[in-house]
Structure 1
Amino acid sequence: MLFDASLRKDLSRSFIGTLTVLLTVVVTLMLIRTLGQASKGSVSPSDIMLVMGYTVLGYMPIVLSLSLFVAIIGTLARMYQDSEMVIWFASGMGIAGILPTLARFAWPLIVAIAALALVGWPWSQAQILDLRYQFQQRSDIDRIAPGEFQVSSSGDSVFFVDRDSSSLEQAKQIFFARMQSEESSVTVAKEASLIQQDGQTWVQLASGQRVEQIQGAKPAIRVMEFDQYDALLHRDPVGAAQSSVRSTPSLDLLQQSNDLANASELAWRLGLVFAAINYVILALALTSSNPRSGRMTHIVTALLVFVVYFNLLSLGESWVGRGVVSAPVWLVVLHGGVCAVGLAWLWMRNAQWSLKRLWARRQEVRV
């Protein structure tokens, strides 16, 4: 109990310090990235903090996993260098006996990582896409200035309203042109009004004429006059956000796992959870006593192992998305293989078994 309480206390301090540093770095990077998106017109300047918050929330599983990994390695390395581990080993505590203590410390964090990866990640992505589409919708409406020709944010539409129009909701003398790959149209009307319906923005035109030019194998020109005509100004932002694989809920991905894109995204989210479990085993197996190595050696090793593991996760997502390997097979091979290697390494250290010692015994037998 004394060892358990002492180790968990040290782990808590190290984890909080590591998490604070990593969050500061991530928030700074995400702020710079969000400011760049706002300068390009992708998000509203007033929504910078919201977009940054959702982005940081989406990356929290990775931040928590790295903080847990570094905290365990840093704490155990300090205990080795301060000879605390020697005292505990002399009292009968084996290296394998540390794993239950690490598991009791790490399981709340692993549960939080699973919740953030399976629920928080798609929710945050959906909120970001929703904010972007809402800004694009507002920007198109704000572009319509009386007495001036204005181009939409997508670049395929041109608007014009008469200078004498009292407001954008009730405009007069409308000119509306849309250019697409196979069809272009020019619409003029005496009056127009904006209508919000089911999250979509419509322009209701009255008393006008519309000219359509259809290109392709059978080009044609159609001219029509109308008393009332409804034109879609902007698509539903919520519907567009839901069309992204990253914003799809995990249960929907599981039900539609036959699709390669859904399978790869689900493998990525589950991989973050399994990787967090393996980090606990790898941290205990990697950390050892070496009086010649500095304190930063273990931290550098932890970062290298984390980078390699994270790149393998990204590689697996790409392979599953291209159909090179199935998601279950990749999850078993990568995470099961890493877990097996970590447990085998831990058993070798607990049994004090090594190739060098085995070779020495063989030499003694020969003599």
Structure 2
Amino acid sequence: MILARYLWRELGNVALATTIVLLLILVSIMLVRYLHIADSFMIAIKISALRLPYYLGMLMPVGFFFAVLLALGRFFAESEMVILFSSGMSWWHLVRLLLLPMGVVMAIVGLITTFVSPALERVQADIMQQYRQQAASAIVQPGLIRFNHGQNVVYLKNVTAGGQEISEVEAVLRNDDGSESIYVAPRASQYYNAAGDRYIRLFAGQRYDVKDGVVSASIRFKEYTALIQKHGIIGTDRDVGTLSMRKLLVNGSSEALAEFEWRIAIPLAVLVLGLLAIPLSNVGPRQGRYGRLFPAVLVFAVYFNILAIIRNEVESGDLSMGLGLFAAPLIFSVMGLLFIHYRNQGGRWRMKS
């Protein structure tokens, strides 16, 4: 029991430190992204806070994997494991000691991915729906407006109906080839699509294509819609991410089944990666605790990439959910158990008679 508490304390410290560092990095990136596409600082903070549990659930299997690797790696590097093995402890005893922390982390991650995260996704969708409606109905002041770092310029002379009805519009939009398209219309309106992109719809106007300062074409139109700002607000579609586990099964679509499979695969990753980390942690005194870090990163990257590929295949309908759910965890778990058996047999593939 003393050994178990010692091991669990070391695992907890390393797992907590690893998860917090990764979470801070991810939150910083996420906050910068939301601040870039949201006009409101408070909206960006709220959305980032609501996304925290989701990313925590994704990072906890990673943190536990590296915790097992580094904690046991330190024991091997400092020859503590040599003493324990000489005292009669086996690799399977080590596995049994790790089953309790594995189960606790799996339960926490499962709770986050199956209940907490979908509930917060629904709250996020409600907040963004309200923000989207406010942004779409916000009063646009007459005058010159620049979008996309000055690439697109719109001049509005008169604005009515809460910013939705615009009269006497001139818009200059830069094309990918460097040319410009100039739109002139007596009437226009603006709106946001579900992805948060901002559009302006022009009525009964004229379009001029300009290249190197020369008008190359002139076209009259009855109605024309142009994208003026990519991701003007954060997208707000209520997708399968907001559905409960039961509703995902009732939905039955390939997207819903892929989401169901993903929510179960993440908690299972704690067990799978934990089993793989145990034999990977076996390092010599000269290698140090970080001696197997590079192959461990490769194992982690390969496993999660396979999970992502399986999710895409299930989502597209090319793979059944049952096969996608159990194939990768089963194969990698068997690999981990086989390598543990290999270590337990002294590095030789022999079976007990």
TM-score normalised over the length of structure 1: 0.68
3-state DSSP of counterpart to 1:293: coil
Q: Does 1:254 align with 2:249?
A: yes
Corresponding residue for residue 322 of structure 2: 328
Q: Distance in 1 between matches of 2:297 and 2:113?
A: 21
Q: Distance in 1 between matches of 2:7 and 2:343?
A: 20
Pair 1:70–1:297, CA change in 2 (3 A): same
User: How far off is 1:353 after superposition?
Assistant: 4.5
Q: Distance in 2 between matches of 1:32 and 1:175?
A: 32
Pair 1:84–1:262, CA change in 2 (3 A): same
3-state DSSP of counterpart to 1:71: helix
Q: Distance in 1 between matches of 2:69 and 2:339?
A: 15
CA contact (8 A) 1:77 1:287 kept: yes
3-state DSSP of counterpart to 2:113: helix
CA contact (8 A) 1:149 1:160 kept: no
Corresponding residue for residue 33 of structure 1: 33
User: Which amino acid in structure 2 is aligned with residue 305 of structure 1?
Assistant: V
Q: Given the alignment, which residue of 237, 245, 266 partners 2:240?
A: 245
User: Which amino acid in structure 2 is aligned with residue 135 of structure 1?
Assistant: Y
Query: RMSD across aligned C-alpha pairs, in angstroms?
Result: 3.1
User: How far off is 1:316 after superposition?
Assistant: 0.5
Q: Distance in 1 between matches of 2:85 and 2:160?
A: 82
Q: Given the alignment, which residue of 116, 126, 129 partners 1:130?
A: 126
For residues 150-194 of structure 1, the C-alpha deviation after alignment (integer angstroms, 9 at most, x for no partner) is 9xxxx9xx99548xxxxx6xxxxx9689xxxxxxxx9xxxxxxxx
Corresponding residue for residue 20 of structure 1: 20
User: Which amino acid in structure 1 is aligned with residue 249 of structure 2?
Assistant: L
- Structure 2: which 5+ runs fail to align? 146-153, 168-186, 188-203, 205-234
Corresponding residue for residue 68 of structure 1: 64
Q: Distance in 2 between matches of 1:175 and 1:345?
A: 68
User: How far off is 1:148 after superposition?
Assistant: 8.9
Corresponding residue for residue 352 of structure 1: 346
Pair 1:26–1:161, CA change in 2 (3 A): closer
For residues 246-267 of structure 1, the C-alpha deviation after alignment (integer angstroms, 9 at most, x for no partner) is 222222112223x111111111
3-state DSSP of counterpart to 2:319: coil
For residues 186-234 of structure 1, the C-alpha deviation after alignment (integer angstroms, 9 at most, x for no partner) is 9xxxxxxxxxxxxxxxxxxxxxxxxxx9xxxxxxxxxxxxxxxxxxxxx
User: How far off is 1:103 after superposition?
Assistant: 1.2
User: Which amino acid in structure 2 is aligned with residue 114 of structure 1?
Assistant: G
User: How far off is 1:20 after superposition?
Assistant: 2.3
Bigger Cα Rg: 1
Corresponding residue for residue 10 of structure 1: 10
TM-score normalised over the length of structure 2: 0.70
| Greater Cα offset, 87-96 or 20-29 | 20-29
User: What are the residue-to-residue correspondences of 1:74-153 with 2, within 5 Å?
Assistant: 74-143=70-139
User: How far off is 1:323 after superposition?
Assistant: 1.7
Corresponding residue for residue 165 of structure 1: none
Pair 1:296–1:353, CA change in 2 (3 A): closer
CA contact (8 A) 1:30 1:56 kept: no
User: What are the residue-to-residue correspondences of 1:262-273 with 2, within 5 Å?
Assistant: 262-273=256-267
Aligned positions, number: 279
User: What are the residue-to-residue correspondences of 1:272-291 with 2, within 5 Å?
Assistant: 272-291=266-285
Q: Does 1:319 align with 2:296?
A: no
Pair 1:20–1:332, CA change in 2 (3 A): closer
User: How far off is 1:241 after superposition?
Assistant: 5.6
Bigger relative contact order, structure 1 or 2 (CA pairs below 8 A, ≥6 apart)? 2
User: Which amino acid in structure 1 is aligned with residue 298 of structure 2?
Assistant: L
Q: Distance in 2 between matches of 1:352 and 1:94?
A: 10
Query: Percent identity between the aligned chains?
Result: 24
User: Which amino acid in structure 2 is aligned with residue 64 of structure 1?
Assistant: M
User: What are the residue-to-residue correspondences of 1:219-230 with 2, within 5 Å?
Assistant: none
For residues 121-143 of structure 1, the C-alpha deviation after alignment (integer angstroms, 9 at most, x for no partner) is 22233233322221121122322
Pair 1:45–1:159, CA change in 2 (3 A): farther
Pair 1:123–1:241, CA change in 2 (3 A): farther
User: How far off is 1:350 after superposition?
Assistant: 1.3
Q: Distance in 2 between matches of 1:140 and 1:242?
A: 15
Pair 1:159–1:71, CA change in 2 (3 A): farther
CA contact (8 A) 1:148 1:160 kept: no
